[in-house]
Amino acid sequence: MSIASMPGLADPHRHPPSRVLSLIPPMTQLNAPYPSTAYITGFLRSRGIYAAQRDIALQLVLELFTPEGLRALHEKARQLPGKKRIPSLQAFTAQFDRYLATVGPAIAFLQGRDPSLAYRIASRAFLPEGPRFAALDVYIDDEGGDPLAWAFGNLGIQDRARHLATLFLNDLADVLKDAADSRFEFVRYAETLAMSQPTFAPLAKALAAPPTLVDATLERLTLAAIEAERPDVVLLSVPFPGSVYAAFRMAQTIKRAHPGIVTALGGGYVNTELRQLQEPRVFDFFDYVLLDDGERPLLALLEYLGLKAPLPSLSPALGKSPNNLVRTFTRINGEVRWFNACQPDIPFAETGTPTWDGLPLDRYLSLLDLLNPMHRLWSDGRWNKLTVAHGCYWKKCSFCDTRLDYIARYDAAPAEILVDRIETIIAETGQTGFHFVDEAAPPKALKALADELQRRNRAISWWGNIRFEKSFTPELCQQLAASGCIAVSGGLEVASDRLLRLMKKGVSVEQVARVTRAFSDAGILVHAYLMYGFPTQTVQDTVDALEYVRQLFAEGCIQSGFFHRFTCTVHSPVGQNPSEYGIRLKPLPPVSFACNDVEFIDPAGVDHARLGPALNKALYNYMHGLCLDEDVRNWFDQRVPKPRVGRGFIARALNGTGAFPGNG
């Protein structure tokens, strides 16, 4: 193998790479930077490597939604045939001058730079209103009063204004989608081009097409970042399918303008969906594709590319052979090759402290889109994102990707190190709010964290995901609240003991009731992840589960929830052993690009799609304290069986006076 055949080494005399730039591609989130680049940048700096980061996702939105951006969008809308039949464009063109005048102030308000504007926005006389504002009709009370009073109360001026400004921004996003780029969405930009796409063809076709207004803006921002930082290596992290297209478009731009820059792709989407990668065309855009945690693969790659100083964490004997790359795809002589040297992962305690240096923390948008209280935490306000431990300490749930590294390899750090990181981040950002992004934060680690925070007399606010296990006693919940815990989320999934056992959740409905009530009694918001459509789930199971959920809300155990449809993935126990769950997988097409979701046949034959709207409608009302005494059958548009669950079951479980009935 010649040195010229390896990406990044075409010129043996090329100076060694010494500057690494990590980029967040559109679209991820707007209220806070996605943390992957903060983790990698902090890690590389801890190893003495120059590392910088930019959030192109935020920059793109702030560039598009300016008076200049709206003028370009207006010109696109003006040229579009049939625009009068599109509601978003009708409203935009009819009120264009008002949009020009208010877009800057609205963005500044959402960034927290002009809070006094809330009074004008809340009046409903300041911002132009397009089709998105029709959603407010659902809040109109029976007497025809203030439509937002029911949702926010009479004193929530800032909240009311933030919700209205978010609707305003969503209206503009719809205009952008209808006039300039049909793929555009916040978070889910061009998602269908990447989600479980077995071939690269749809993405390749989109990338070969002339650039849209969004593409042209993205290309300009990418080149500006390259010119400012002049990196030797550019890392792009794609956590979701909705950020893949933009990442490839950015890499395409870099390769055309600066072919000598090495580009590498990683992130949650890559780790999940590109494990069977065989498509050579991917490497027209990226020289390397790195799987799983990026620290060790990056160190191996940078040493292979010839970093001037040897990396102390790697053996000097590794040399410059590609066989020493770790969990890395690349293309050699036109063929995709996989390299995975036997090198241990970097221990979690040694990965360094994330840094947000280089990211404009004062420019993120605090949105208030959905009134679900937990969803609000995800989109409203900027939280420092941190991990208590790597992986999942339980890693048994049958619907989860338990075979993948981010779940399977559990590795914790001492509480002293975790609080050291917390204090470093507070000193850097000036903010004391933390979102722990673990798959499931371990109870023992959380108790140790609370102990250490108390020992140092450190005040923070935090929230994160847990399992509703019995280790969370009322005493521990009170201690966590005292340490700053404001909310937890956890998987109740299908509230059926039979199905919970099949899922290997390790919890029961009765246990969930007691644990969630302990958190609620401690003043901690509780959000339940709920699922429907799990293998062998019957209509009776669904009705029973909704009755349990109704009682959990009525008894004050949970305050928030979200139903999602079960999806079978190839990396989960269900996808690996479908016969154990009573289903048959549909054959997958030949895969050369992405692979994750897999369709299946369930002999139960339930039309779960028809049941879903009833579940979501019921949940929406329960979260607002409505209809908690009504028969759950009233939510369905079809005849369903009577719940087999006693109406006082959760109350008896909380009092310890009722035996749990068998439910299938």
Q: Token pair 């503009």 is at which residue?
A: 172
CA atoms of 438 and 389, how far apart (whole Å): 7
Give the pair of three-digit tokens for residue 306. 């010839």
Q: How confident is the model at residue 251 (pLDDT cuts 50, 70, 90)?
A: very high
CA atoms of 636 and 192, how far apart (whole Å): 30
Name which residue leads in pLDDT, 12 or 579.
579
What pLDDT sits at residue 17? 54
Q: What is the pLDDT of residues 204-219, one digit of tens each?
A: 999 999 999 999 999 9
What pLDDT sits at residue 369? 82
Q: Would residue 297 count as lying in a domain?
A: yes
| CATH code for the domain in which residue 272 is found | 3.40.50.280
Whether residue 399 is found in the same domain as residue 500: yes
Average pLDDT over residues 130-146: 69
Could you tell me the residue range of the domain that residue 144 belongs to? 62-179
Q: Is the pLDDT of residue 616 over 50?
A: yes
Q: Contact 400/195 with Cβ under 8 angstroms?
A: no
Average pLDDT over residues 487-516: 96
Q: Report the residue count for the chain.
A: 664
Whether residue 328 is found in the same domain as residue 249: yes
Give the pair of three-digit tokens for residue 452. 């250490």
Whether residue 90 is found in the same domain as residue 232: no
Q: How confident is the model at residue 224 (pLDDT cuts 50, 70, 90)?
A: very high
What pLDDT sits at residue 377? 87
CA atoms of 473 and 97, how far apart (whole Å): 58
Rounded to the nearest angstrom, the gap between the alpha carbon of residue 499 and the centroid of all alpha carbons in its chain is 26
Q: How confident is the model at residue 10 (pLDDT cuts 50, 70, 90)?
A: very low
CA atoms of 53 and 40, how far apart (whole Å): 9
> 124, 147, 179 — which closes off a domain?
179
Q: Would residue 228 count as lying in a domain?
A: yes
Question: Based on the structure, what is the number of domains in the chain?
Answer: 3
Rounded to the nearest angstrom, the gap between the alpha carbon of residue 556 and the centroid of all alpha carbons in its chain is 28
> 118, 151, 179 — which closes off a domain?
179
Q: Would residue 122 count as lying in a domain?
A: yes
Q: Token pair 């200049």 is at which residue?
A: 68
Whether residue 439 is found in the same domain as residue 323: no
Average pLDDT over residues 292-305: 94
Q: What is the pLDDT of residues 316-354, one digit of tens each?
A: 444 478 999 999 999 999 999 999 998 999 999 999 999
Q: How confident is the model at residue 661 (pLDDT cuts 50, 70, 90)?
A: very low
pTM above 0.85, yes or no: yes
What pLDDT sits at residue 151? 55
What DSSP character marks residue 336?
E
Q: Contact 556/388 with Cβ under 8 angstroms?
A: no
What pLDDT sits at residue 586? 96
Handedness of CA 622, 623, 624, 625 (dihedral sign): positive
Name which residue leads in pLDDT, 311 or 452.
452
Whether residue 196 is found in the same domain as residue 300: yes
Whether residue 90 is found in the same domain as residue 228: no
> 339, 362, 393 — which closes off a domain?
339
Q: What is the pLDDT of residues 522-559, one digit of tens each?
A: 999 999 999 999 999 999 999 999 999 999 999 999 99
Average pLDDT, the chain: 91
Q: What is the pLDDT of residues 404-434, one digit of tens each?
A: 999 999 999 999 999 999 999 999 999 999 9
Handedness of CA 102, 105, 111, 114 (dihedral sign): negative
Q: Give bridge partners of residue 339 from the DSSP assignment.
A: 328
Whether residue 330 is found in the same domain as residue 233: yes
Q: Would residue 352 count as lying in a domain?
A: no
Helix, coil or strand: residue 237: strand
Whether residue 240 is found in the same domain as residue 166: no
Q: How confident is the model at residue 136 (pLDDT cuts 50, 70, 90)?
A: confident
What pLDDT sits at residue 145? 53
Type and span of the H or E element at 263? strand 262-266
Q: Would residue 206 count as lying in a domain?
A: yes
Whether residue 379 is found in the same domain as residue 498: yes
Q: How confident is the model at residue 108 (pLDDT cuts 50, 70, 90)?
A: very high
Beta strands of 397-540 (E only): which ranges?
A: 411-412, 433-436, 461-466, 485-493, 525-532
Q: Residue 569 — φ and ψ, nearest 5°?
A: -115, 155
Q: Is the pLDDT of residue 368 over 80?
A: yes
| CATH code for the domain in which residue 512 is found | 3.20.20
Which string of b and e fits 596-623 if b means at least 16 CB within 10 Å? bebebebebebebeebbebbbebbbbbb
H helix runs in 209-275, sequence order: 213-229, 244-257, 268-273
What pLDDT sits at residue 152? 56
CA atoms of 156 and 121, how far apart (whole Å): 12
Rg (CA), the chain: 26
Q: What is the pLDDT of residues 376-401, one digit of tens each?
A: 888 888 999 999 999 999 999 999 99
Q: Is the pLDDT of residue 11 over 80?
A: no
Helix, coil or strand: residue 207: helix
CA atoms of 32 and 211, how far apart (whole Å): 27
Name which residue leads in pLDDT, 85 or 647.
647
Q: Would residue 349 count as lying in a domain?
A: no
Q: Contact 300/318 with Cβ under 8 angstroms?
A: yes
User: CB under 8 Å to 583, separation ≥6 — which residues?
Assistant: 535, 536, 568, 574, 600, 601, 602, 603
User: CB under 8 Å to 375, separation ≥6 — which residues?
Assistant: 369, 560, 562
User: CB under 8 Å to 113, separation ≥6 — which residues?
Assistant: 362
- Single-letter amino acid code for the residue at 449: L
What pLDDT sits at residue 146? 58
* Short-list 362, 356, 359, CA closest to 112: 362
Name which residue leads in pLDDT, 172 or 369.
172
Q: Would residue 660 count as lying in a domain?
A: no
Whether residue 282 is found in the same domain as residue 394: no
What pLDDT sits at residue 150? 53
Q: Is the pLDDT of residue 452 over 80?
A: yes
Whether residue 172 is found in the same domain as residue 235: no
Q: How confident is the model at residue 139 (pLDDT cuts 50, 70, 90)?
A: low
Q: Would residue 575 count as lying in a domain?
A: no
Whether residue 158 is found in the same domain as residue 284: no
Count CB-CB contacts under 10 A for residue 662. Answer: 8
- Single-letter amino acid code for the residue at 124: R
Q: What is the pLDDT of residues 575-613, one digit of tens each?
A: 999 999 999 999 999 999 999 999 999 999 999 999 999
